[in-house]
């Protein structure tokens, strides 16, 4: 997918690997200058090297100037303000914020969660996107406009399972997305993506042991890959989505639909149905 983001500046949280890295790479490959943030500098530098290498292989010799790193804790308002300022100082603006960073320190029944792990989940998954959006709004977007993209989860759209605390924060993030869209428009658009199961280290315990060709039984069969989410992110932050705000785009291969139905034994191909009398 190719969209035009030349001249725009993006800040991506949780950008050292997985979905965040895939989104940051897609933004850079489509012309944006990108500030990568996560907690550890080593991971950020590896991610930046991967992106600049990809840009160079695609014939962009200035790719190293399109990517910078800024270690920051996703739950910290001070870190958010510093990162927004760093993006503006390095690249001259801040047009796109991708709130991707998330944590999931607990799996089990919601009724049994201890408060420290509940507080940590809320701090990163819900408070984090709000304070980073506040920082981007106050530092740049209030005057110059922009777009915010939150990475939620299909867990925020359903009930049950062992990830109740994580899913609860993602449900609240979906509300936050829609509410902020009403507050920040028309200057700033705020949307979200709700991915299903994606083959990342973050979700490894959900897919480990399943081969790359495993059929999960839903409409499109396979689990997602980070570029599947990155392609949707490109659309939502681009001018192609200029009249879209407050929306949540589900990217899950049909998982929320439930198990796929059995196909007819001898389905007719288009144009090869039963003849009709003329």
Tokens 């028309």 label which residue? 186
Q: Residue 276 pLDDT more than 70?
A: no
Continuous segment of H or E residues that includes residue 146: strand 146-151
Work out the number of other CB atoms within 10 angstroms of the CB of residue 92: 11
Q: Please calculate the CA angle 157-166-44 and round it to the nearest 5 degrees.
A: 115
- pLDDT, residue 272, reads 43
Domain boundaries, the chain: 9-256
Q: 47-55 long-range CB contacts below 8 Å, 24 or more apart?
A: 47/15, 47/16, 47/17, 47/21, 50/21, 50/25, 51/21, 51/24, 51/25, 54/25, 54/29, 55/28, 55/29
CATH number of 9-256: 3.40.50.720
Per-residue pLDDT band for 12 (boundaries 50, 70, 90) equals very high
Q: Residue 18 pLDDT more than 90?
A: yes
Q: Is 166 a catalytic residue?
A: yes
Q: Residue 62 pLDDT more than 80?
A: no
- pLDDT, residue 275, reads 39
Q: Residue 264 pLDDT more than 90?
A: no
- pLDDT, residue 278, reads 34
Q: Residue 216 pLDDT more than 80?
A: yes
- pLDDT, residue 263, reads 55
Q: Which of 159, 166, 205, 216 is catalytic?
A: 166
- pLDDT, residue 273, reads 44
pTM: 0.91
- pLDDT, residue 209, reads 72
pLDDT tens-place string over residues 80-124: 999 999 999 999 999 999 999 999 999 999 999 999 999 999 999
Q: Which two tokens stand for residue 198?
A: 């994606």
* Mean pLDDT to the nearest integer, 141-152: 98
Task: Return the C-alpha torsion angle 200, 157, 250, 239, nearest 10.
Answer: -110
* Mean pLDDT to the nearest integer, 36-47: 96
Beta strands 9-13 and 96-99: pairing type? parallel
Per-residue pLDDT band for 208 (boundaries 50, 70, 90) equals confident
* Mean pLDDT to the nearest integer, 63-86: 95
- pLDDT, residue 60, reads 85
Higher pLDDT, 188 or 202: 188
């Amino acid at each position: 997918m190719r969209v035009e983001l030349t001249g725009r500046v993006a800040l991506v949280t949780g950008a050292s690997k997985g979905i965040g890295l895939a989104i940051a790479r897609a933004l850079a490959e489509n012309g944006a200058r990108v500030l990568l943030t996560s907690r550890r500098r080593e991971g950020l530098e590896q991610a930046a090297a991967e992106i600049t290498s990809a840009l160079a292989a695609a014939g962009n010799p200035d790719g190293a100037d399109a990517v910078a790193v800024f270690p920051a804790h996703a739950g910290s308002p001070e870190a958010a303000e510093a990162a927004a300022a760093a993006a503006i100082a390095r690249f001259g603006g801040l047009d796109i914020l991708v709130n991707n960073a998330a944590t999931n320190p607990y799996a089990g029944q919601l009724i049994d969660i201890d408060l420290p792990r509940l507080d940590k989940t809320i701090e990163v998954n819900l408070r984090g996107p709000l304070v980073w959006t506040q920082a981007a709004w106050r530092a740049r977007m209030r005057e110059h406009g922009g777009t915010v993209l939150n990475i939620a989860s299909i867990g925020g759209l359903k009930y049950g399972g062992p990830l109740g605390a994580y899913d609860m924060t993602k449900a609240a993030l979906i509300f936050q997305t829609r509410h902020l869209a009403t507050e920040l428009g028309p200057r700033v658009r705020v949307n979200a993506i709700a991915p299903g199961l994606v083959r990342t280290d973050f979700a490894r315990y959900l897919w480990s042991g399943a081969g790359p060709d495993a059929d999960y039984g839903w409409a499109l069969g396979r689990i997602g890959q980070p570029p599947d989410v990155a392609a949707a992110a490109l659309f939502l932050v681009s001018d192609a989505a200029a009249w879209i705000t407050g929306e949540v785009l589900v990217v899950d291969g049909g998982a929320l639909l439930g198990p796929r139905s059995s196909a007819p034994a001898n389905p007719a191909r288009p144009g090869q149905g039963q003849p009709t009398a003329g």
